[in-house]
């Protein structure tokens, strides 16, 4: 009797697996397939809104931007990517695909929705939300008036042991790449070496830094601006706040979340993808990013929400964003050479 029971269980399991896999096979069923390096909590609501508004069905695969880029590359190399739209948290991943010619050129109308400084010169991708690099600090331990206006000041002896960085994190690496573009490799390498010599506290990612600052473990850290707002939302009593560097300092780099359509997308998928990106850049989409995730809306005419200080993109511009895509490898090498674990 028990033998039959176990056999039955197995049979059910196998049948169940087939059923699930069969149902999961229908990726052609959706109008738009998105691979999103942006987390579910941060984008699914607006995608649901899009589905309702447009009547198009959307299916999303979430993951790490770099892994998804790798996957798209393999899929495309094998004959065609399953994804229609790629949303990337990091310019590095989009740059990788662009270098391998996997991205399609977006319609001019879509590109016109944002300032030219936050979209690709070749029209292959467009930014739909922005994240700014800031210095988060512990309000109990540090005096805002003493905080530096340039990231270069962090290598001064007075800042020894008071700064947290996450050298393996994508946004830090993007920031260093941008610094290489504006300041050149030599100055960047020197800054990295000086920073490493100044007893920085190393963390795995932005979250860890903000948590550490909140706990008082380290006095300040280089992070993206919105982490602190999210941390405060979870724990309003946390004594941490953001400090912006000067607008044209490398330390106040604006990192965009980019959207692109895959070159292997078919015509109707391309159209649906375009519709999606336009929606993300519409007022509804942009305000979602502003109010829910505390990021910078990039579409012309949209304002950031809450306590997020407004920035003028014209001032932040001047950085050739397309150069951010490539060159990540050299950035990594520079970071490692300076003594950090890349």
Partner 1 sequence: MTDASLAPSRPQSGSRQRTATSWVTPSRLIGLTIGALFAGPAAFVVWRTVRLGDDLGDVLSEVPAPLWRTIQLSVLVSASTAIVGTGLAWLTTRTNLPGRRLWRIALVLPLALPSFVGAAAFIAGLAPGGVLNDALTAVGITPPSRLRGLGASWLILSAFTYPYVYLPVAARLLRLRSSLDESGRMLGLSSTATFFKVTLPQLRTAIFGGALLVFLYTLSEFGAVQLLGYDTLTRVIFSSRLTNRALSFAAASVVLLLALCVVALERSQRGVSRPDDRTSVLTRQPTRLRWGTIPALAACTLVLSVGLLVPVASLATWAQRGLTDGRIGFGELVQPAMNTALVAITAAVAATVIVLPIALATTRRPHRSSNIAAISVVVGFAIPGLVLALALAVLTLNTPGLDRLYQTTALLILAYVIHFGSQALASSESAARSVPNSLRESSRLLEPNPARRFFSVDFPLMRPGLVAGAGLVLLSTVKELPATLLLSPPDFSTLSTEIWSAYEEGFYAAAGLASLVLIGVSSVLTWVLVLRGSDVVRK
- Where do contacts with partner 1 occur on this chain (CB under 8 A)? 2-3, 6, 9-10, 13-14, 16-18, 20-21, 24-25, 27, 30, 33-34, 39-42, 59-64, 66-67, 69-71, 74-75, 78-79, 82, 92-93, 96, 168, 201-202, 204-205, 207-208, 210-212, 215-217, 227, 230-231, 234-235, 328-329, 332, 341-342
Both tokens of 144, joined, read 């805002």
Q: Measured in whole angstroms, how far is the alpha carbon of residue 341 from the centre of its chain?
A: 21
Q: Measured in whole angstroms, how far is the alpha carbon of residue 233 from the centre of its chain?
A: 20
User: Which residue, 137 or 152, has its beta carbon nearer to partner 1?
Assistant: 137
Q: ∠339-341-342 over CA atoms, to 5°? A: 110
E strand intervals along the chain: 32-36, 58-62, 85-88, 125-138, 163-165, 201-202, 220-224, 240-243, 254-261, 296-297
CB of 108 to partner 1, least distance (A): 30
User: Which residue, 211 or 286, has its beta carbon nearer to partner 1?
Assistant: 211
CB of 317 to partner 1, least distance (A): 26
User: Which residue, 110 or 196, has its beta carbon nearer to partner 1?
Assistant: 196
User: Which residue, 41 or 116, has its beta carbon nearer to partner 1?
Assistant: 41
**Cβ atoms of 209 and 137 closer than 8 Å:** no
CB of 82 to partner 1, least distance (A): 6
CB of 62 to partner 1, least distance (A): 6
CB of 295 to partner 1, least distance (A): 12
List, in order, residues 6 or more apart from 257 with CB less than 8 Å away. 38, 87, 88, 89, 127, 128, 129, 130, 131, 295
User: Which residue, 41 or 320, has its beta carbon nearer to partner 1?
Assistant: 41
CB of 230 to partner 1, least distance (A): 5
E strand intervals along 199-251: 201-202, 220-224, 240-243
User: Which residue, 183 or 217, has its beta carbon nearer to partner 1?
Assistant: 217
**Most distant CA atoms of the chain, gap in Å:** 78
């Amino acid at each position: 009797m028990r033998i039959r029971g176990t056999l039955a269980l197995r049979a059910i399991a196998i049948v169940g697996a087939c059923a699930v896999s069969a149902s999961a096979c229908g990726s052609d069923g959706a109008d738009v397939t998105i691979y999103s390096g942006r987390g579910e909590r941060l984008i699914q609501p607006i995608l649901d809104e899009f589905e309702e508004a447009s009547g198009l069905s959307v299916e999303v695969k979430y993951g790490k931007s770099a892994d998804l880029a790798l996957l798209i590359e393999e899929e495309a190399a094998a004959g065609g990517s399953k994804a229609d739209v790629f949303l990337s948290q990091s310019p590095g991943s989009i740059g990788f695909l662009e270098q391998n010619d996997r991205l399609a050129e977006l319609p001019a109308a879509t590109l016109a929705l944002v300032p030219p400084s936050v979209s690709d010169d070749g029209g292959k991708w467009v930014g739909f939300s922005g994240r700014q690099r800031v210095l988060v600090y512990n309000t109990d331990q540090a005096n805002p008036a003493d905080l530096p206006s340039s990231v270069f000041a962090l290598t001064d002896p007075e800042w020894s042991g008071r700064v947290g960085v996450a050298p393996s994190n994508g946004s830090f690496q993007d920031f260093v790449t941008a610094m290489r573009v504006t300041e050149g490799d030599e100055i960047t390498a020197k800054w990295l070496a000086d920073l490493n010599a100044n007893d920085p506290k190393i963390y795995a990612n932005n979250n860890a830094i903000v948590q550490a600052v909140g706990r008082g473990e380290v006095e300040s850290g280089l992070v993206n601006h919105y982490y602190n707002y999210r941390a405060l939302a979870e724990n309003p009593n946390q004594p941490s706040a953001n400090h912006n560097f000067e607008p044209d300092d490398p330390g106040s780099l604006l990192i965009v979340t980019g959207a692109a359509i895959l070159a292997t997308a078919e015509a109707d998928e391309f159209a649906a993808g375009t519709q999606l990106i336009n929606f993300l850049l519409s007022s509804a989409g942009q305000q979602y990013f502003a109010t829910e995730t505390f990021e910078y809306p990039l579409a012309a005419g949209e304002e950031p929400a809450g306590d997020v200080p407004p920035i003028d993109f014209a001032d932040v511009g001047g950085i050739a964003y397309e150069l951010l895509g490539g060159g990540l490898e050299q950035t990594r090498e520079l970071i490692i050479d300076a003594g950090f674990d890349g």
